[in-house]
Amino acid sequence: MCETCGCTVTPGNAHLAHETTGRPGATVELLHDLLAANDQVALHNRAHFDEYGVLAINLMSSPGAGKTSLLEATIEALQGRYRIAVIEGDLETDNDAARIRAHGVPAVQITTGTACHLDAHLVHRALHDLALAGLDLLFIENVGNLVCPASFDLGQHRNVVLLCATEGDDKPAKYPVMFRAADLVVLSKADLLGVLEDFDPVRAAEALRALGRETPMIRTATRRVPSLDAWLAWLEHEVSARRTLTTRRASPGTATAAA
Amino acid sequence: MHELSVCQSLLDEVTKIATSQGAGAVARITLEIGPLSGVEPELLARAFEIARAGTCAARATLSLQVLEIMVRCTECGASSRALPNRLLCAACGGYRTRVLEGDELRLRAIELDAPAARSAARAERRESGG
């Protein structure tokens, strides 16, 4: 894909702008974001998604909250309506990518080895193995972890964080950086709420609101009593909003990002 | 432990700046860290001990300035201090707030050591003279 753009990731020129001389003991005063290199590649990834009109969603949660199951159910429900692809992040194995491919959807597995999160570089590399043309939706399933993935922009348009009914309802208070990054919180395995009496959705919503965000929280279930309506409605809304934006950008008379 | 990744990215940046300044080594690196950055200062300091080996910052001191969280209420306009999981307005209790400070992960300053260019030139002179 990068034959068209050349993949010339600009290293960010700001850090070369200072003019002080390097005499011993001299202090160079700076104001650099430490993750600037990652953020540059994330911008580059986002430019690719926008070029192809693909909505990219970064899916995050603790391990076992049901990210892959939600994706499997989503693919089945949206079959014939949206063209979907998935990037899977795991420390080891391509089990999750195999599960996705079994539903007839392209999936690229990133195995991070010991790394506890995906970063923009890893996603960029995965994009070389994925044709974006013709896609509507790209899910990036991050490594199951409520800490590290929150600090790394991948180039996604939306962050979705799963909060599983089998977890504590105080997870947003325990992992504020992650839940603050969420554009949508999905209360997964919600069909278990009836038997898991310790989890109070109202308390979870309060903990989420205490983070100073009006993040919507919806419920999903994929097993005994499937329930995906709110999730599919949210996705539909986001896909059509992205399309409108892309069309407006590409329409004649407006400047396109040709740089 | 993503602090190691953050450290590597820090050292890349520091090396780039030290090279552009003609400095052979770095004596001190100052960072600003907000509690909402997702980076744990203590873990970052420990990761730095490992990651700095063999770089221009191998003998550098890492100085970490941990910032406070400040929010501004979009309802009543008040600014107040807040906790990472309680980003509410201290004046009216509202949750519609904006974080003014506290999510930073910034390289603030680098104190340079002897310039590499000059010591390289000295070494060259010694070589041609001897």
Element (H, E) at B45: helix B41-51
Q: What is the structure's pLDDT at A8? A: 28
Distance CA B22, CA A31 (A): 20
pLDDT at A228 over 90: yes
Q: Categorize the per-residue pLDDT at A2 as very low, low, confident or very high, splitting at 50, 70 and 90.
A: very low
Nearest CA-CA distance, residue B130 and chain A, Å: 27
- Of B24 and A72, the structure prediction assigns the larger pLDDT to A72
Report the relative pairing of strands A158-164 and A184-188 from DSSP bridges: parallel
Report the relative pairing of strands B97-101 and B105-112 from DSSP bridges: unpaired
Q: Cβ A24–B10 below 8 Å, yes or no?
A: no
> What is the average pLDDT across A44-53?
96
Chain A CB contacts of B22 below 8 Å: 21-22
Q: What's the pTM value of the predicted model, to 2 decimals?
A: 0.85
Q: Categorize the per-residue pLDDT at A225 as very low, low, confident or very high, splitting at 50, 70 and 90.
A: confident
Q: What is the structure's pLDDT at B67? A: 96
Q: Per residue, what are the HEC states of chain A?
A: CCCCCCCCCCCCCHHHCCCCCCCCCCEEEEEEECCHHHHHHHHHHHHHHHHCCCEEEEEECCCCCCHHHHHHHHHHHHCCCCCEEEEEEECCCCHHHHHHHCCCCCEEEEECCCCCCCCHHHHHHHHCCCCCCCCCEEEEECCCCCCHHHHCCCCCCEEEEEEECCCCCCHHHHCHHHHHCCCEEEEECHHHCCCCCCCCHHHHHHHHHCCCCCCCEEECECCCCCECHHHHHHHHHHHHHHHHHHHHHHCCCCCCCCC
pLDDT at A19 over 80: no
Kindly report the number of other CB atoms within 10 A of residue A223's CB atom. 11
> What is the average pLDDT across A2-31?
46
Of all residues in chain A, the one with the smallest CA distance to B28 is A27
Distance CA A115, CA A148 (A): 9
Positions of chain B with pLDDT lower than 50, given as ranges = 117, 121, 129-130
Using one digit for the tens of pLDDT, what is the confidence trace for A118-156? 999 999 999 999 999 999 999 999 999 999 999 999 999
Of B2, B86, B111, the CB nearest to A210: B86
The three-state secondary structure class of B96 is coil
Element (H, E) at B19: helix B3-20
Distance CA B49, CA A1 (A): 39
For chain A, say whether B26 makes contact (Cβ under 8 Å). no
Of A29, A207, A210, the CB nearest to B109: A29
ipTM of the complex: 0.80
The three-state secondary structure class of B100 is strand
Nearest CA-CA distance, residue A77 and chain B, Å: 35
Using one digit for the tens of pLDDT, what is the confidence trace for B89-120? 999 999 999 999 999 999 999 999 865 545 55
Element (H, E) at B129: helix B116-129
Sign of CA dihedral B8, B9, B14, B15: positive
